[in-house]
A = this chain, B = another copy of it.
Amino acid sequence: MSLENISSNRSFGGWHKQYTHTSRTVHSNMRFAIFLPPQASESNRVPVLYWLSGLTCSDENFMQKAGAHRVAAELGIAIVAPDTSPRGDNIPDDPEGAYDFGIGAGFYLNATEAPWNRFYHMYDYVVKELPAVIEAHFPVSDVKAISGHSMGGHGALTIALKNSDDYRSVSAFSPIVNPAAVPWGEKAFSNYLGEDRKTWLEYDSCALIKKAEKHLPMLIDQGDGDQFLHEQLKPGNLLQAAEEAGYPLELRMQEGYDHSYYFISSFIEDHLRFHGEHLK
């Protein structure tokens, strides 16, 4: 489990750093970014917020654009941002290079269908391998929360719902909450998981929330000016499923906001303080 450091930037008294490592889970080199707040040291291991990004993104988008370091530095929370898929010349990709499948679009699942199933195991990477790497190499504790945007909001919600003992809290911006029933999810799941739609429900928040035994604090922000709201995101489906299941969920509709990082940066402070309360 050796890491290669490829960049370091001082930020708000802490450090932003990028690393690559060879992942045994996705059989390729993976890059991730970590923000270490000034409080982090071997004698003061800090909790970690995992951030999962959306379609087309890498480890860089959130770190550069979300404006999250200020409050993470204040609260003493590390942030880890993995890439959104394996990446490289040997990784199978959408045959037409589309943005919504293949490289940059791993959907945080374990693919079962060839040729995707050798590489596209982003679920196991985020749930198991990455936290082990992070906890072995950095001054962080095993106290975790998880958040994400769009496809990464889907990842954060599904991973938290399936591993509720591993995370203290979960939040999302503009998440794909019902991928089994929308075009982005139908394309990705039919390729990664095959045509048996029952298997898709293992990665669908609207299905998973009905089976959840333990309730995690859950916060979702959604812009009502988001171009993907009605066709791909459908937050009302999760709200309805949560109500049927008696699962407490705070869904905030934010007037006029779109799908961009300007939306995320406007509300990331609320999410960090929400997680900060539960990471104590």
Contact = CB atoms under 8 A, between A and B. Distances in A.
Interface of A: 9-13, 16, 64-65, 67, 69-70, 223, 225, 256-258, 260-263, 265-266, 269
Nearest to A11: B262
A258 B64 contact: no
A260 B60 CA distance: 13
B223 A67 contact: no
Contacts of A269: 70
Contacts of A258: 9-10
Contact of A257 (B10, B256, B262, B266): B10
B16 A262 contact: yes
B70 A11 contact: no
B67 A10 contact: no
A13 B257 CA distance: 9
Given A65-B65, A67-B67, A70-B67, A11 B225 contact: no
Contact of A9 (B13, B70, B263): B263
Contacts of A9: 258, 260, 262-263
A261 B70 CA distance: 13
Contacts of A262: 9-11, 16, 69
A266 B12 contact: yes
Contacts of A70: 67, 265-266, 269
A85 B260 CA distance: 26
A10, A69, A257, A265, most chain B CB atoms within 10 A: A10
A12 B257 CA distance: 9
Contacts of A260: 9
Contact of A10 (B11, B225, B261): B225
Contacts of A263: 9-11
Contacts of A11: 262-263, 265-266
A265 B225 contact: no
A221 to B, nearest CB: 12
Contacts of A69: 262, 265-266
A263 B152 CA distance: 27
A256 B10 contact: yes
Nearest to A255: B10
Nearest 7 pairs between A and B by C-beta? A67-B67, A11-B262, A9-B262, A10-B256, A10-B257, A12-B266, A9-B260
A9 B65 CA distance: 14
A174 to B, nearest CB: 13
16 contacts: A9-B258, A9-B263, A10-B223, A10-B256, A10-B257, A10-B258, A10-B262, A11-B265, A11-B266, A12-B265, A64-B65, A67-B265, A69-B262, A69-B265, A70-B265, A70-B266
